Amino acid sequence: MSEASTGAVVVGIDMGGTNMQFGVVDAGNTIIGRARGKTEADRGQDRVINNIVRGIHEACDQAGIPPNDLAAIGVAAAGAIDIPRGVILDAPNLNWTDVPLRDILLRELGQPIVLDNDVNGAAWGEHRLGAGRGRGDMLAVWIGTGIGGGLVLDGRIYHGRFFTAGEIGNTIITPDQGNGEQKLEDRCSRTGMSRALRRLMPQYPDSILHRLIPEPQETIGSEILAQAYRQGDALTCRVVNQAANLLGIAIANWVTVLSLDTVIMGGGVTEALGEPYMDRIRESFAKHVFPQRCRACQLVMTRLADDAGLLGAALLARDAIASKAK
């Protein structure tokens, strides 16, 4: 009997607001087949579903495993999710509301589908296989197109009564600002920082951003942001450091309330900006957390990087299948 037919092989999908990643994961938690693609949420729900199905087939082709031999498919998707019903309740970066993604994919693929939040997936991957392995209670904070969070408490993903725990990006951090500027995500995500940079660029005619992004509509991606930050561009440092300060305050609030052991940070922005950015966040965190003993909480970078979400989704899928088999 093949490994696939024993139910050991699963697919994990990390479904963000901009990009999707797919991994066929074997019993040893090794990724044996991969695929990547754009989410293309701006082209409608059907397009996104087609991209998911195509990505699964591409990853399975690379792994040499027929999709029908998969034990389950785990999807870690951006947004607030009703876990028992498999419904994406609200996903601003996808422009989705009340989308029954689990049932849609079940009809398309015929395999058991496990749906959870994208950063819950990353948190679980890091807890089991990455920077959180062997540590205690933890918060994952992923910074990219938006900002997401996931909690692991007492060795389990904590979903809360309404299955939406961990949404740090949607916490209010600057209530005196206008609509669209109040949430942590509004100010500190790549989207939020890009908006601030665009607004301030006319005041900084010497900023290297004018050279790095010559077209007004061109996206300020994480790598451009990191390049300008590394070169000490005054405008970029102003915006990034302000965002880092706010992130440190937000994380300090969560650690103050929950007395967490570890905070793991990842996502395209975090990985691109690296340790200097992390140091700014740590400095702000240490200044604001209460009591002082909570400064012992470790703020660390992701170890699994791009693979955290898809590995976590795969593990959640395997956990669900194992639970049903008991």
Write down the domain spans for the chain: 4-124+307-325, 134-303
Separation between Cα atoms, residue 294 and residue 200, nearest integer Å: 36
Cα–Cα distances (Å) from 9 to 38, 113, 308, 316, in that order, read 24, 13, 17, 13
Residue 74 has pLDDT above 70, yes or no: yes
Percent of the chain surpassing pLDDT 90: 87
Pairing mode, if any, of strands 87-91 and 96-99? antiparallel
pLDDT at residue 75, rounded to an integer: 98
Secondary-structure class of domain 134-303 per CATH: alpha beta
- Which residues face 113 on adjacent strands? 73
Q: How confident is the model at residue 322 (pLDDT cuts 50, 70, 90)?
A: confident
Calculate mean pLDDT across residues 212-218: 76
Separation between Cα atoms, residue 81 and residue 116, nearest integer Å: 6
Calculate mean pLDDT across residues 121-150: 96
pLDDT at residue 262, rounded to an integer: 98
Note whether 4-124+307-325 and 134-303 share their fold.
Answer: yes
pLDDT at residue 217, rounded to an integer: 67
Burial 86-122, CB ≥16 within 10 A → b, else e = bbbbebbbbebeebebbebbeeebebbbbbbbbbbbb
Q: What angle do CA 305, 193, 171 make, to 5 degrees?
A: 80
DSSP state of 75: E
Q: pLDDT tens digit string along 286-315?
A: 999 999 999 999 999 999 999 999 999 999
CATH number for region 4-124+307-325: 3.30.420.40
205: which 2 tokens?
């005619």
Q: How confident is the model at residue 3 (pLDDT cuts 50, 70, 90)?
A: very low
pLDDT at residue 6, rounded to an integer: 40
123: which 2 tokens?
């948190």
